[in-house]
Amino acid sequence: MALWKTQPTLRLFVPQPIRVGEPFVATLEIEAREPVPVEWVDLTLECVEGWAVGSGKNRVSRVHRYPKVGARLVEETELSGTTRHQASFTIPFDEPPSQHGGPAYVRHTFHAQASIPWWPDARVSWPITVRAASVPATPSPVVVQTNASDLIEVSLESQRVAVQGIVGGLVALKKLDTPLVVDLALREVLTLVSWNGYERVRHGRGF
């Protein structure tokens, strides 16, 4: 057994997007530039939820750690060269999606550890973004007329569309003898309603 050992390089590959409740496959690439013995290699996924307000002596915080899920990718062996190992994961429905910024946060993190006998273990962590579960939208057909309603009429299969869903419909041109250039685009319309009933509407992306 060599007295000096070289830790392997660990790289993680995951698909995008990752959603709550949907299984996905994580791939751990292990590159051992020199042969190195390992007792095991584990890959675990951790979710931490918390919040913090105030500062100094007035700072108040709470942290909740959900149960970790993991897989043993490699049993006791000698690593050499580059190998890839896969494991299937599913974010449970009782875990929230990722949240960054502000006093509250939800963080999902992958941790990989290669246990090397009589040597410091190789450890790497990767934060990942988890999105909310995809909920199928209930179809709700609608017909939209432009200001020039005598020229263009748009009918949509549904005015409710799931995230990353497909908007389907038809465009009717009523006066074919008039040259027209039709350009269709989706635009966000965000409405905030305060406790006193005052509404603020913004067209575009965010406030």
DSSP string covering 131-165: EPPP-PPPP--EEEE-SSTTTEEEEES-S---TT-
- Per the CB < 8 A criterion, the answer to whether 110 and 124 are in contact is no
| CA atoms of 98 and 20, how far apart (whole Å) | 10
**Rounded mean pLDDT for each run of 10 residues along the chain, 207 residues in total:** 81 94 95 94 95 85 92 95 96 89 89 95 96 72 61 70 66 65 64 49 47
Distance in angstroms (rounded) separating the CA atoms of residues 119 and 7: 9
Q: So what's the pLDDT on residue 127?
A: 96
Residue 91 pLDDT: 93
| Whole-number pLDDT of residue 182 | 65
Q: What is the C-alpha to C-alpha distance for residues 80 and 35, in angstroms, rounded to an integer? A: 5
In this prediction, residue 194 carries a pLDDT of 47
pLDDT of amino acid 163: 56
Confidence at residue 94, expressed as pLDDT on a 0 to 100 scale = 87
Question: How many other CB atoms are there within 10 angstroms of residue 45's CB atom?
Answer: 24
pLDDT at 74: 95
